[in-house]
Amino acid sequence: MSVYVLLLNGYLLKRLIEETMMEFKILTSFLLSLVFGFLTIPLIMKFCKERKLYDIPDFRKRHKQAIPRLGGISFLPCMLLSFGLVLVIFSIKYDTYESVHVWYLYLLFGFLIIYIIGIFDDIIGLSARFKFFVQFLAACCLPVAGIYINNMFGLFGVDAIPDYVGIPLTVFLILVIINALNLIDGIDGLSSSLSLIALCVYLFVYSDFNAWVICVMCAGLAGSLVAFFYFNMFGKPEKGTKIFMGDSGSLTLGYIISALFVRYLMLYAEDGDSDYSGVILIYSALIIPVFDVVRVVLFRLRKRQPVFGADRNHIHHRLMDAGLNQQKALLVIIAMAVSFIIINALLYRATGNTTLIVVVDIALYTLLSVGVRRKGINK
């Protein structure tokens, strides 16, 4: 009996040490990326000033001064540098090697395509149709790597789906999420805040699968986002310390978040667990940007307006038209995003019905959108 107890205690101690080590890797990746972000963003702002690369105010924008717009350039280098350093340092010092699957190479390739196109768009400007075509190519990288949606998790009574449905659905969903995070980037801190919420949820759900490589990657991206958020929210235009992320940032965020979303769905389907609480969480984390872009596209189609055009019909525009300033609109949208996560988690725990949750979400979002719009009209 005593031998059994000793073996059990030894096993538990080993698991505790392993989990503590992984959490330390995640924290280290976050802190390294945070520091790199604070070091690189001032250099980017200096580069923008020298090259006169500014976001110019127009009828849709609230800022009154020209602001540097290449802040998103910092995301990829900071994330990859912190990610690489953590894997190398811990492998050498503690002899704890992490397995990196081949699909990461496809992810990196798609990541680089989106990143480069975003930079070119910020510097010289590219047509919306060309950017969409490049997004499509990047989205195809995941199915080519064998990563695609193969299960609907009980939505409308559907579970497993064939490849000829799952692959096009995957590409479509990636395109929706990329453009959702790009188009909602209309006020200070919004796209970065929603992305941080999604990354926090990803860290939580991926840790259940012991997918520590992905967790380290998410932490690295989160660190660079926090650094950007500081300059974006609290920087002073008159002092030259404020910056926007630009398409180089919003497109990059959209791609990595959509790719990790699809990867998680496939992992969950392979696991065969009938409890879909993790799926509900990651879906809920993206409700605000995805529902917003779907509503805007449907509105433009109904009004026979160009789908790729620009307008003032996004949720943040409506909140400001209703009388809120940028900071209050940001807080309201963050509160909405967190509320959907909490409500859906409770609903799933009570009902276990994914279809009911999606229907309730659509109804709630529609009511909120209509209410905000009416208040803006009556104001």
Angle (CA) 291 177 206, round 5°: 105
- The helix (run of H) or strand (run of E) holding residue 238 is none
Point out which residues pair with 55 in neighbouring strands.
67
pLDDT at 360: 96
pLDDT at 102: 74
Closest CA to 175 of 139, 128, 206, 202: 139
pLDDT at 377: 57
Q: Encoding tokens for residue 271?
A: 């696991």
pLDDT lower than 70: segments of the chain? 1-19, 57-64, 91-101, 375-379
pLDDT at 11: 45
Q: Encoding tokens for residue 107?
A: 């992810």
Point out which residues pair with 151 in neighbouring strands.
160
Closest CA to 221 of 80, 88, 116, 43: 80
Question: How does pLDDT run across 112-163, given as a tens digit for each residue?
Answer: 999 999 999 988 888 888 999 999 999 999 999 999 999 999 998 899 999 9
CA 314 → CA 8, 182, 294, 320, 369, distances in Å? 56, 12, 10, 10, 10
pLDDT at 370: 84
pLDDT at 15: 52
Contact 139, 220 (CB under 8 A): no
pLDDT at 18: 57
Q: In sequence order, which residues have a C-beta less than 8 Å from that of residue 270 and are 6 or more positions away?
A: none
Model-level pTM?
0.90
Residue 263 backbone dihedrals phi, psi, to 5 degrees:
-60, -40
Q: Encoding tokens for residue 37?
A: 């972000």
Question: How does pLDDT run across 29-72, given as a tens digit for each residue?
Answer: 999 999 999 999 999 999 888 888 877 766 555 656 778 888 99
Q: In sequence order, which residues have a C-beta less than 8 Å from that of residue 162 and are 6 or more positions away?
A: none
pLDDT at 12: 46
